[in-house]
Structure 1
Amino acid sequence: MHMKRIATLTAVAAAVILSACSSGPSGSMMTAAAASSGPTATAVLEPTKGNTAAGTVTFQQRGDRVMVTTKVTGLKPNQEHGMHAHEKGDCSSGDGMSTGGHFNPNGKPHGPQESEHHAGDMPALKADANGNANASFELSGVTVGSGSAVLVGRGLIVHAAPDDYKTQPTGNSGARIACGVIKQG
């Protein structure tokens, strides 16, 4: 009886291990290394003068898209905040204005990800009741590695207000409350 139970448990364990190695949608083997491959970058957000927003935003190239993961604190609770990549990786001014305008190498209008938009336009951060925004989303039209739409070396700004995705060229997102530079690695 004891040997039969060990054999059953061994068979179940083998089935679990083999199912973890199953083929992905294209028929190729999906592994943790394949899912996480591609260059990465990080922006450490620091509050601008008189603000408390701070955090870390990571960027990882995945094929022709970039996966973005945010961990931001010190936001206005239960509110959306605009977030954009800006032209210059310069947070030296106390108000974040040294980053310039939205990153827009293709001269497109400001807008949501689903339509024509600046390369630096991103989905809004949604703060919880404690003022934290932990989110993940994908971007298209930008890269982490190289090219005219590379994010590395750009400024990353979190704004005080939500982005309306209509007002040109900024989305009426209000003051810049946190600033970071997107750096490789």
Structure 2
Amino acid sequence: MKNSLKIAALLSITALPVVAAEHVMLEARAEVMNAAGMSIGTVTINETASGTPLVIVALTDLPEGSHGIHLHETGDCSAADFTSAGGHIAGDAEHGVFAENGPHPGDLPNAIVGADGELNLEIFNADLVIADMVMDDDGAAFIVHSDPDDYTSQPSGEAGSRIACGVFEAG
């Protein structure tokens, strides 16, 4: 019985529901590129009827394992190591869900990539203000890191190098 519950849980994670278009409005979209400059998918940030932004990640060709993923403060992926994207969108918060004054609005949960290299994830982010944090004058970027975020280390969770980046543009 326990194995069938584990299988059902895994299937529910990999078979994400399709969001009905009438419930969301696309606000921002980023085409994500790896360090070789190849497109590996998209990330969208959508406004919902409740006002809670929905981040949808659909990426391929990533290394297997756990990866920190974040929304970064500057819409610039021009540096070879993607450091041009700046730090996380921080607002007035500390980094990580384990921090007393956390998390940053740009902190997202670690993403687990399977042997197939695919990352598909939907995240509601009540701390994110799209107009002020993503679509502001200097824009924002989505970053995939080489390692998992530890959810505590300041200012960025010791998530390793930046292996993919995408700049958000108006939807």
Normalised by the shorter chain, which TM-score bucket? 0.7 to 0.9
Equivalence for 2:95: 110
What TM-score, normalized to structure 1?
0.72
- Unaligned 5+ segments in structure 2 are 1-19
Could you tell me whether the CA contact under 8 Å between 2:42 and 2:58 is conserved in 1?
Answer: yes
How does 1:38-77 map onto structure 2 within 5 Å? 38-49=25-36, 54-62=40-48, 63-77=50-64
The structural deviation recorded for 1:105 is 2.4
* Aligned pairs for 1:1-185 within 5 A: 34-36=22-24, 38-49=25-36, 54-62=40-48, 63-77=50-64, 79-106=65-92, 108-112=93-97, 116-144=102-130, 146-147=131-132, 150-152=133-135, 153-185=139-171
Preserved contact between residue 65 and residue 138 of structure 1 (Cα < 8 Å): yes
What is the DSSP-based 3-state SS (H/G/I as helix, E as strand, rest coil) of the residue aligned with 2:84? helix
**Letter of the structure 2 residue corresponding to residue 154 of structure 1:** A
Could you tell me which amino acid in structure 1 is paired with residue 117 of structure 2? Answer: G
Superposed CA RMSD: 2.2
Larger Rg: 1
Opposite residue 129 of structure 1, the aligned amino acid is A
Moved over 4 A (4+): none
1-structure distance, mates of 2:164, 2:31: 9
Which segments of 5 or more consecutive residues in structure 1 lack a partner in the other structure?
Answer: 1-31
Partner letter of residue 134 of structure 2? L
Give distance in 1, aligned partners of 2:46 and 2:170: 10
Amino acid at match of 1:157: I
Using the alignment, how far apart are the partners of 2:97 and 2:35 within structure 1?
25
In structure 2, distance between residues paired with 1:33 and 1:97:
34
Deviation at 1:80? 1.3
Shift of 1:143: 2.6
> Structure 2 CA distance, aligned partners of 1:171 and 1:81?
11
1:155 counterpart letter in structure 2: A
User: Aligned-pair distance for 1:54?
Assistant: 2.3
